[in-house]
Chains A and B, each alone.
Chain A
Amino acid sequence: MTQREKQILEILENDSRTGAEQIAIMLGMDVAEVRAKIAEWEAQKIIIKYNTIVNWEKLGDDTVTAMIEVKIAPQRDAGYDSLAERIYRYPEVKSVLLMSGGYDLAVLIEGQSLKEVAMFVSEKLATIDGVQSTGTHFVLKKYKMGGVILNGKHEDDKRLVITP
């Protein structure tokens, strides 16, 4: 991949609503070329999805998030993958990461209440064959998610309006 192609993805990752024309101008490329590249990446699932980051908390939403440390026994032929899949297929599960260190999977879960999340862990997660133990950590406050600072103060431009 060329530096310029990489920049197309960076621009989109930062603001997925940036149009192909604008991207082409900013990178000194042909619009058709940019469009073709984006289509190709969409087809290859390199560009997976165009998302919006919503700060639900601001709307008074009190969804509960928990990070669950899960220890599992790797499976013959499938390693950790098949167990990970059994877990990530639940819609309550927002992310699943295989970790080095003291536990194997970091599982992020969302629910409507502490009880709902706790029930999910004890009834669904902990009972899967191969899951050896779970440790639940409830999220108290989100500061930064996916590179974006939540509730960050809007930083005004503090520069003088004209400087040499």
Chain B
Amino acid sequence: MNAVTNWAQRLSPVVRNIPPSGIRRFFDLVAEMKGVISLGVGEPDFVTPWSIRESCIYSLEKGMTMYTSNYGLLELREAIARNIYGDFGVTYDPRKEIVVTVGVSEAMDLAMRAILSPGDEVIIPEPCYVSYSACTALAGGVPVPVATTAENEFRLTPRQLEAAITPKTKAVIIAYPSNPTGATISGPELAALAKIIEQYDLIVIADEIYDKLTYEGQHTCFSSLPGMRDRTILLNGFSKAYAMTGWRIGYACGNPDFIGAMVKIHQYTMLCAPITAQMAALEALRNGKGAMEEMVKQYNQRRKLMLHGFRQMGLDCFEPRGAFYIFPSIEKTGLNCEEFSEALLKEANVAVVPGTAFGQPGEGHIRCSYAASVKQLNEALERIAGFVSKRLS
């Protein structure tokens, strides 16, 4: 008899070495349970506004079922360019500086693959969205995590950035408002980072998918900073602001060389983003602003409710000013974040995500999404309060 083939051995070591997702295990645990209130969902609880859904149905009726340009529909790129100019005063040429992608997820992968050579380092402030390290590694790069801290409300500081730079540093990821912390960063703080970025001649990948979900202060688009436009690959999408996660539609903006290189990969791996979703995205930009602002208003009310709730329990919690997450410290309970999350789930039937799912610096924290109804949030807060009070003495 033949020896059993070890297929796992045949996998690419790059893929094999990517650690399993910290969220997966929790997902399996929660999926088995009943009556759970989940604050673990990283997507809006609203369904896509009807005018957007309706325009997609109409596009299907009209027979819009074909490929588009690799770059995406020109009309959509033009609308994106107008929108960015209107919001931030940055100009992108819709013909060669914008590509429509299958979510920011694909755009992130394209950006990494377009710029990285084997061994190039990418500075990644953590805790952060789960895909940055994996995309870096898959593109042959080396992720260099930088631990941002609760004391500094999880903002990357110029000193931290400079300390992480080596001769191999190629790029840095800047992603505010932040998933999982809800942190934002001010224009002057970004300008201080930009100075160092210029000095060391780095590329910036700016993931600004939560830009519209900024509740205090103004969002500063990284490429609007002096001298930063051409060294920035700006990523954004429709998933969060327009409640369109399942449509899988995003975009990247940058200088024609970067975008051209990204399109080279995109044309062979994706060809183009689905036209149905592109048509819907166009409607979102044309007529979706009112519905988007209404959702932002409601997130903001829930944000205040959550912040009040966690502080009331006696937990330390900095004020999240963006996205739809709150990231309280659970250190006072004496549990680590994995233990806390698992016990909370089993005893109180509330699902949250342990901070370490977003990198080791997330230890001591849990990510709670407030993309849920006020009624659910109130109930969840009550259950968490009961659970926490037993552990604070």
Contacts and interface: CB of A to CB of B under 8 A. Distances in A.
Given A26-B374, A157-B45, A162 B305 contact: no
Interface stretch (B6-14, B30-38, B157-165): B30-38
B18 interface: no
A28 B304 contact: yes
B254 interface: no
8 contacts: A22-B305, A22-B374, A22-B378, A25-B305, A157-B45, A160-B41, A162-B30, A164-B129
B353 A162 contact: yes
A7 interface: yes
A159 interface: yes
Contacts of B45: 157, 159
B301 A26 contact: yes
Contacts of A25: 304-305, 308
Interface of B: 21, 23, 26-27, 30-31, 36, 38, 40-43, 45, 47, 129-131, 179, 297, 301-302, 304-305, 308, 351, 353, 357, 374, 378
Contacts of A22: 305, 374, 378
B301 A11 contact: yes
Contacts of A28: 304
Interface string A148-164: 00000001010111111
Nearest to A3: B297
Nearest to B27: A162
A7 B351 CA distance: 30
Interface residues of A, number: 15
Contact of A164 (B21, B297, B302, B304): B21
Nearest to B308: A25
B17 to A, nearest CB: 20
A15 to B, nearest CB: 8
A28 B378 CA distance: 16
A contact face: mostly helix, strand, loop, or mixed: loop
Most chain-B CB neighbours within 10 Å: which of A25, A157, A161? A161
A123 B167 CA distance: 93
A105 B27 CA distance: 58
A26 B47 contact: no
Nearest to A23: B301
A161 B43 CA distance: 10
Enumerate the 5 nearest inter-chain pairs by beta-carbon distance, A residue then B residue, closest first: A162-B40, A26-B301, A162-B27, A163-B42, A161-B38
Interface string A126-164: 000000000000000000000000000001010111111
A7 B40 contact: no
Interface in A22-39: 22, 25-28
B42 A164 contact: yes
Nearest to A157: B45
Contacts of A155: 47
Contacts of B41: 159-163
A144 to B, nearest CB: 12
Most chain-B CB neighbours within 10 Å: which of A155, A157, A161, A164? A164
A45 to B, nearest CB: 26
Nearest to A164: B130
Nearest to A25: B308
B367 to A, nearest CB: 10
Contacts of A157: 45
Contacts of B47: 155
Nearest to A159: B41
Nearest to B47: A155
A155 B351 CA distance: 21
Contacts of B308: 25
Most chain-A CB neighbours within 10 Å: which of B26, B131, B301, B304? B301
B59 to A, nearest CB: 23
B297 A7 contact: yes
Contact of B26 (A7, A159, A162): A162
Contact of A163 (B43, B131, B304, B378): B43
Contact of A7 (B21, B42, B43, B301): B301
Given A22-B378, A163-B23, A164-B357, 7 more contacts: A22-B374, A157-B45, A159-B41, A159-B45, A160-B27, A161-B31, A164-B179
Contact of B43 (A11, A26, A159): A159
Nearest to A28: B304
Contacts of B43: 159, 163
Contact of A27 (B304, B353, B374): B304
A42 B198 CA distance: 59
A164 B31 contact: no
Given A161-B31, A161-B36, A26 B23 contact: no
B209 to A, nearest CB: 12
